[in-house]
Structure 1
Amino acid sequence: MKFKHCHDRLDGMPSPADLRAMLERREAEEIVRQRQQGLSKPIIGAKLNDHQIVGVGNTVYFSQDWKTFPDFLADYIKRKLDSAWGNAELAKPFDKRHPIMQWYETYCKYQQSVVKAPGVVHSCPITGVVTCYLGVAYSLFLLDHNVELQARLINRLKDPTQFQGAYYELIVANILIRAGFELTLEDETNGDAKHCEFAAVSKKTGKRYWVEAKMRAVNGLLGRTSNDGGSDQKPLRQLVPHLNRALAKPADDERLIFIDLNAPPLLMPDGTPGHFETALHRLEKYEREELPGGTTAYVFVTNMSAHRQLDETPMCAGAAFGLGIPEFGRPGVRRVIDAFKAKRKHIDAFDVAQAISRYSTFPPTFDGKLASDAFGRPSNRVLIGETYDFGDGVIGTVTTASVDEQAREVLVGVWTHDGESIIMKGPLSDDDLAEYREVPNAYFGRVEPTTKHPNDNFELFEWLMEVNAGLSRQQMLDWFGAHRDRAELEQMDDDDLRMTYCEGQIAAIESGRRP
């Protein structure tokens, strides 16, 4: 069954309900855009006849060939790195080329293997080479679009002896911009003072951070040789030396320190990335025995191993640790309320950790729309408040919608033109289901609490806090009844009471009775 969209208002005058729906739709569209683009400035793009136009900084680019945003990125990186330099590298034997140009050839071969009809939009798995090559392109774009793209950084990127450092700095800049930070690049030509890679200000909290990025150098990888790269053994070998060098630099602000292990990808029996548990234990030991008093830092240990997995699904992962910050990033079990409060207090660091996990994804569209909308792909997605022809003479307005992932169906509540309330069903394709999973809370054109099954009690707690945001104080107090000390509950402010209520809800779910 396919649902055909209708346009049922003919007078051109939106009602108050229509205006409210328009605002709700815009809010949902922004959620979709942010899921694709993160919290950076929106991509500036427009269609003019058969040309796609993209504005980046003070430059306007255009082409007839860009169907998707990755199409643009693949062209943009050539312009930024200079075609003459690229062609000179391609003239060399493959193993003598710059890493970026090795990735370029591998990327082209991958495209040829998956794109069977040139000019037609395709979806394909993101492999390591896609992450490496388009990752550099997108990082350059994000700096160019949100901060500035310095010629010195481009020169460092093209210099094999400086490539690894510049490459990891680009990765970190990408992560921070997507996480909603405004960056200030430092003057690295000033050799009189030690300084960080850049400063970052959170648009969410207004806090300013000092940022340092270090990556382990390995002989034979990312342009390193036996002269400037070590053995691939002992992935944690440079963890503490890198940390010491970062902490040795003076910082007026809180520190964000990124250290990449540059280690072979490792998957643990429980499905989690390897190396990190050992790294966090080493940081705990460092904190106990070596950390100078009063020193604090948010440390992000990463292993962005896409360059080791060019033909595979890359494992780009990280782990966060609060050095001198005991309530952040510590292994072990804690009360769910304490974990929730810690996330609120350290939300900037949590946003960074989330952005690390999204590094190997790229916006598919220029305008932030779902691919099914932007490329006209057949879909059974419906929008709440819109009117559709559901077939068999049923025409009605969608009042609610949900997805049954197990049955791979969309369930749609409809108010028909005949004044009936009915439920319609329709199948979901693989592409539909993938899009829904990306933005379950905004998929149907209205932002609503997601109904997906939580992975753990913390996710359940966050969901309960969201859905119970409108619950009155009296309703929460009444729910506890005689099961809790009423005087103790009444002394809590509304926020603490709501957290205690949601914690009690979890306990009730687990035990089958009230706490």
Structure 2
Amino acid sequence: MVHSPSWQFVSDFLIDNLMTVFGREWGANASQTIADHMLFSWLDGLGEARKEVGEGVLLPPRGNVSALTRLAYALYLLEHNDKPQQNLLTRLRHPVNFAPAVYEALVASAFALAGARIDGAEDETGGAPKPEFFATFRNGLIYAVEAKRKKSWKSPFDLNSDAFVDELQGWLRDKLYKASKKALANPVYWFELGIDAEINPDEVDRLRQVVVAGVTNAETITVNGGPPSPAYVFVTNNQDLVNEEASNLGFFALLMGFAMDNFREGVVDIETAMDNHDIHRPIRWVHDCLSLVQRVPNSFEGVPDELLDDQGQPIDTLRIGKLIPYPRSDGTEGVGRIREIATLDQQAMVVLVDEQTNQQVFAKLLLKPQEAEAAKKFGNAIFGKPEGPQRVIGDRLRLYDRMLEIYADYDRKSLLNQIRKHPNLIDFENLDTENLRIRVAREIAKSIG
């Protein structure tokens, strides 16, 4: 438990914690011996921003302030998950290695937020090529994670320029080749473009097309005489890491499969989509966590900005455990206590315990616009559900994930009761319990979606 009367905003705590993680003694010495370290430049920028806005006011969005607070948030998430790896801290303290280590910290924090344990590759013995780190999920899956950052650009940012497009796609191809040569097991490659210019909304789709074409074309490379191994590829652009004065900050992130046939864009039937979703769920979850890592919270209470009114006070929302009126199937109005909740666009599918009959019922409720916006970004946790961020992949796939969570502890009788009117019930009765759970979650998700 830590506290301080000077922490008014979450960022105040995060910066204080960053200094502790780096080591206050190291900071005192380094500020004299390596004063040109980028960390001290960011801290100076923070001090200037605080002077400009005054006490008790949220800091303005500025490149150096954003980069510093996001690094501090990443270190907190890693510490909350376990602890920042010593090798990472060593490189963060080194002025030359600081920039790539910052990116690695941001990447690792997305995995940490998704529930993975982070293990430094330096702990592995042997002379085989190593990634930046390993991420191990609760189900035992281990991913080898590479994180590389483009140092500089020869061509000015212009998505209509052949020179810029060729440089971007050539860099991606080179990094994919070098990463593939390592022959890592379950690889996940992260590539940061480092574009310091503002990318307006009209340019985002064009950048996406250029990146997708670059990664897809790179699948023709040969590695040790054969095709490259399948891998997940994240391509990001964090303007605040390369432009200290940027004020209209934007973040770009794209996840795609490299030489991975079952992780490509295209139209497939819902069963195939759910099959593929089961395979790729952990990495898709990391992708959703990335959007949270990019946004440092303001409120110590954890209330998203979307759920605050003009005076900064929380609005009334649906909550787990809250009593609410709901429409019964016979047209009357009942009162029930919310037990579970799953959102779908502007609606919420809730599981209620009726106060009069004590029976569990399902109901569809219309969300307030603020609730729908917050749920889209942060998932069902905003309603008091103790869970990670929502996997926003598509409405039915999102519901499928949620139904798997709801039915996690149901026995066979309870599972079959959920689909007792299904025309294929006899076939489902022959499934083992785990496959029955998956089938029930899928059928319910398809019926609701």
2:193 to 261, 265, 268: 261
Distance 1:399 1:147 in 2: 36
- Is the 2:121–2:131 Cα contact (8 Å) retained in structure 1? yes
1:387 deviates by 8.0
SS at match of 1:303: strand
2:178 to 245, 251, 269: 245
1:182 deviates by 0.6
Distance 1:505 1:141 in 2: 38
1:130 deviates by 3.7
1:67 aligned residue: 8
Q: Would the alpha carbon gap of residues 232 and 296 (structure 1) be closer, same or farther in structure 2, given more than 3 Å must change?
A: closer
Trace 1:7-18 onto structure 2 (pairs within 5 A). none
Trace 1:372-391 onto structure 2 (pairs within 5 A). 377=313, 379-381=315-317, 383=319, 385=321
Distance 2:191 2:64 in 1: 22
1:156 deviates by 2.5
Q: Would the alpha carbon gap of residues 76 and 86 (structure 1) be closer, same or farther in structure 2, given more than 3 Å must change?
A: farther
2:217 to 253, 278, 285: 285
SS at match of 1:259: strand
Deviations 1:399-420 (A, max 9, x none): 56999x99xxxxxxx999xxxx
1:155 deviates by 4.0
Distance 2:80 2:55 in 1: 32
2:110 aligned residue: 175
Q: What TM-score results when the alignment is normalised by the length of structure 2?
A: 0.68
Q: Mind listing any 5+ residue stretches in structure 1 that lack a counterpart?
A: 1-44, 46-52, 54-61, 221-230, 389-396, 407-413, 417-427, 480-485, 507-515
Deviations 1:95-116 (A, max 9, x none): xx333223223233333444x4
Matching of residue 98 in structure 1 with residue 32 in structure 2: no
2:278 aligned residue: 344
- Is the 1:316–1:356 Cα contact (8 Å) retained in structure 2? no
Trace 1:77-476 onto structure 2 (pairs within 5 A). 77-79=18-20, 80=22, 82=24, 83-85=27-29, 87-88=31-32, 97-114=36-53, 116-118=54-56, 126-149=61-84, 152-187=87-122, 194-203=129-138, 205-218=139-152, 234-251=167-184, 253-263=185-195, 264-267=197-200, 269=202, 272=204, 274-290=206-222, 292-293=226-227, 295-308=229-242, 310-328=245-263, 330-364=264-298, 377=313, 379-381=315-317, 383=319, 385=321, 399=337, 441-445=380-384, 458-460=394-396, 462-463=398-399, 472-476=418-422
Q: What TM-score results when the alignment is normalised by the length of structure 1?
A: 0.60
After superposing the two structures, state which structure 1 stretch, 287-296 or 348-357, moved more.
287-296
Distance 2:318 2:369 in 1: 14
- Is the 1:131–1:360 Cα contact (8 Å) retained in structure 2? no
Distance 2:58 2:114 in 1: 25
SS at match of 1:109: helix
Deviations 1:376-431 (A, max 9, x none): 9464347565689xxxxxxxx9856999x99xxxxxxx999xxxxxxxxxxx897x
Question: How large is the Cα RMSD of the aligned pairs?
Answer: 5.0
1:218 deviates by 0.7
Q: Would the alpha carbon gap of residues 441 and 352 (structure 1) be closer, same or farther in structure 2, given more than 3 Å must change?
A: closer
SS at match of 1:169: helix
Q: Would the alpha carbon gap of residues 126 and 282 (structure 1) be closer, same or farther in structure 2, given more than 3 Å must change?
A: same
1:350 deviates by 0.6
Deviations 1:283-315 (A, max 9, x none): 222224535347222222222222345443432
Q: Would the alpha carbon gap of residues 137 and 497 (structure 1) be closer, same or farther in structure 2, given more than 3 Å must change?
A: closer
- Is the 1:273–1:317 Cα contact (8 Å) retained in structure 2? no
- Relative to total residues, which structure has the larger helix share, 1 or 2? 2
SS at match of 2:152: coil
2:423 to 473, 477, 485: 477
1:447 deviates by 8.3
Q: Would the alpha carbon gap of residues 478 and 137 (structure 1) be closer, same or farther in structure 2, given more than 3 Å must change?
A: closer
Distance 2:290 2:312 in 1: 31
Q: Would the alpha carbon gap of residues 113 and 192 (structure 1) be closer, same or farther in structure 2, given more than 3 Å must change?
A: same
User: Higher relative contact order by CA 8 Å / sep ≥ 6: 1 or 2?
Assistant: 1
What letter is aligned with 1:74? I
